Structure 1
Amino acid sequence: MKTTDPKKNITRRQALSMVAASGAAAGGALASPAVAQEKAVIEWKMVTSWPKGLPGPGLSAQRICDRISTMSDGRIRVRLHAAGELVPAFEVFDAVSGGVAQMGHTASFYWQGKMPASVFFTTVPFGLTPEEHCTWIEYGGGQELWDALYAPFGVRAFMAGNTAGTMAGWYKKPLTSLEDVKGLKIRIQGLGGEILRRMGATPVSLASSEIYAGFESGVVDAVEFLGPWSDAAMGFQQITKHYYGPGFNKPNGTGEALISSVAYEGLSEDLRLIVKEACRSENAQALAEANWMNAQALQTLKAEHGVQTDSYPQEVVQTMRSLAQEVLSEYAAKDELTQKILESYRAAMALVSPWSQLSSADFLSARGG
């Protein structure tokens, strides 16, 4: 009996089908690891110095998390932890440096006890405006100095929000002279606290979540925080109607995104760029938002809450300005890098101030008649 070899009875079409099927199977086997790799998600934690959803910096922190996830198509997911949820407000830097979290959102002047020069990357009294500060960081060598300052701690930093120009603060009693400053207990951050100390006041450091209770209970007599939008959200108008401005202590309000150097360098080049650009984008949006919302909030505070905006007496302003230069010079003497940063900051201010005066201050004066 004649046997039939089944291989000889396979048609050309069947053979091609079998080749295609085996190729697809082989391709699937090869592609599986790649698909799995594409689906791998990098999970990061962000710790912040703000109450969750705080108008201004709290919203900036959340938008940065959202941007990174969207821009990376979900390859990086950043989970936000508000102040106190994972670490206290003033321990954000140490948390990122120590690997507790890969990111932080905060303000650099909180670290002035650890690094005196850190204050320059948020703001200093009578210093750069928001636009001028961005110019220094982006084009005047500021970013490189910021990198050098944080490098020993294994931390990178980028501008990541801006609360715009701030107010001088809320006072339970009117401040009419230098004498009224003496004995004043005021919640204040940055070098302004040291200036007021030298004027006879007692600066008090309170985390954002503690300020209202401290103000209401009398722990402090005055509070300096941010601008009308954030201040109104904190409810200070319920305690006093005396609101002073402008904020000579904080003419700028740059927020910083802290990133673990190990985590950042561990990313692919495109993901590093996404993280950086997510921060840069928020810096621009937050500044525009702050200016718009501050204008609306100030109008509401005056019209609906009877808040009165006041200005410091000239003798107080002049004393503050003089002491500001004294304090800055003393800070610069602490170490070589701080001196270098101050020199860079002052050089930037000397360069851009004449243009700012002509293009902004003089124009606004002319526009107002």
Structure 2
Amino acid sequence: MRKAILFPLLVLLAVVLGRTPAQPAAAPVKPVLITAVTSWFKDYPSNDAVWELQRQLERKSGGSLKIDWKGGPEIVSPFEAVDALSRGVFHMLNTSGAYYTQLVPEVVFLDYFDGPIKALRAAGVIDFFDKINQEKAGVKLLGVVRGASGYALYTRKPVTKLEDFKGLKIRATPTYVPLIKALGASPVTMRPGDIYTAMERGVVDGFAFPEVGTMDLKLHEVYCCMIRPPFWTGRTVLLMNLQAFQKLSPEHQKLLTDTMRNIDEQWVEPHFKKLLEIELRELVTKHGRK
């Protein structure tokens, strides 16, 4: 009887002593956050590709790499944003080359290259501008996040002949100031977010702006006429602090650059072509703009 009781106890003791102690649950991996700023308010079309990149990165990385948007021009002036980026105030910036010609004058020439981004990259154009940005501003050119959007002129009153431009004050960026002067008008530099109030108060009589986006800023409320065809095309670029990029793991670097490449080569142009068609139609049919 004693043997019958003792044997099961010995078996139980052996099981208990031989059991591997329970391991504590592994702590969840903390995601790598890329802090980002945009030169336009959140819902402006020039930022659309940034949000697409944000969605794709989080999905493809399983949440290990995320873009943490901190704000738009209320965070830092577009004309000072690249300087702040190069100093590491934040990691990523969506902006226009026209906003940082004081640091990298050559960057505006990216807008003068015609053709799709895929062709420009194959020809070495994107790598060339990436190298210049790294050398002069300490930032990496990740990609082009807005297609070659045409720029038009918008005025408070009809302009039907060249002489009508004389004496007008036109909002402009440094890139096309010579054109505004050649028309006989006076260029005025200001942030996109200040255009509405400036037009409303008569500080400026018109402005140059991409064909896509005036409705998002409600600028159609303060101009009567749109002067086309476009006089210039402009692209927006996504930049990253070079040191911040280099600190990413090789896997995250590849994921970021490959995803951005897919977006600017496959997604950007069709997206903005569709937006332009919608905006031009609504400006005429819904708002009676000419």
Same-fold call, TM cutoff 0.5: yes
Contact map agreement 1:64 1:282 (CA 8 A) in 2: yes
Q: Which of 228, 239, 245 is equivalent to 1:245?
A: 228
Does residue 201 of structure 1 match 2:185? yes
Q: Read off the aligned partner of 2:167 and give its amino acid letter.
A: G
Q: Which of 273, 291, 300 is equivalent to 2:273?
A: 291
SS at match of 1:246: strand
Mark the CA change 1:195 to 1:233 in structure 2 (over 3 Å): closer, same or farther. Answer: same
Q: Give the Å deviation of 1:53.
A: 1.1
Alignment of 1:108-257 (within 5 A): 108-121=97-110, 123-124=111-112, 128-129=114-115, 131=116, 133-136=117-120, 138-152=121-135, 153-189=137-173, 191-227=175-211, 229-250=212-233, 253-257=234-238
SS at match of 1:94: helix
Mark the CA change 1:134 to 1:108 in structure 2 (over 3 Å): closer, same or farther. Answer: farther
Q: Take 1:177 and 1:18, find their aligned partners in 2: how far apart are those partners?
A: 96
Does residue 45 of structure 1 match 2:35? yes
Q: Give the Å deviation of 1:74.
A: 1.4
Q: Read off the aligned partner of 1:278 and give its amino acid letter.
A: T
Task: Report the structure, 1 or 2, having the larger helix content.
Answer: 1
Q: Take 1:300 and 1:84, find their aligned partners in 2: how far apart are those partners?
A: 27
Alignment of 1:1-369 (within 5 A): 10-11=10-11, 15=14, 18-19=17-18, 21-22=19-20, 25=22, 28=23, 35-36=26-27, 39-54=29-44, 56-121=45-110, 123-124=111-112, 128-129=114-115, 131=116, 133-136=117-120, 138-152=121-135, 153-189=137-173, 191-227=175-211, 229-250=212-233, 253-283=234-264, 284-308=266-290
Structure 1 alignment gaps of length 5 or more: 1-5, 309-369
Query: Which residue matches 1:315?
Result: none
Contact map agreement 1:159 1:254 (CA 8 A) in 2: no
Q: Give the Å deviation of 1:157.
A: 1.0
Q: What's the CA shift string for 1:223-281, capped at 9, x where partnerless?
A: 11112x4112222322233111222222xx42211111111111112211222233234
Mark the CA change 1:96 to 1:249 in structure 2 (over 3 Å): closer, same or farther. Answer: same
Identical amino acids, percent of aligned pairs: 24
Q: Read off the aligned partner of 2:31 and give its amino acid letter.
A: V
SS at match of 1:305: coil
SS at match of 2:76: coil
Q: Give the Å deviation of 1:14.
A: 6.8
Task: Report the structure, 1 or 2, having the larger strand content.
Answer: 2
Mark the CA change 1:200 to 1:118 in structure 2 (over 3 Å): closer, same or farther. Answer: same
SS at match of 1:99: coil
Q: Give the Å deviation of 1:217.
A: 1.4
Q: Give the Å deviation of 1:151.
A: 1.6
Q: Take 1:176 and 1:134, find their aligned partners in 2: how far apart are those partners?
A: 39
Contact map agreement 1:191 1:249 (CA 8 A) in 2: no
Structure 2 alignment gaps of length 5 or more: 1-5
Q: Take 1:300 and 1:220, find their aligned partners in 2: how far apart are those partners?
A: 25
Q: Take 1:85 and 1:215, find their aligned partners in 2: how far apart are those partners?
A: 20
Q: Take 1:170 and 1:67, find their aligned partners in 2: how far apart are those partners?
A: 36
Contact map agreement 1:42 1:75 (CA 8 A) in 2: yes
Compute the TM-score of the two structures, normalised by the length of structure 1: 0.69
Query: Which residue matches 2:3?
Result: none
Structural RMSD (CA): 2.7
Q: Take 1:237 and 1:270, find their aligned partners in 2: how far apart are those partners?
A: 45
Q: Read off the aligned partner of 1:142 and give its amino acid letter.
A: V
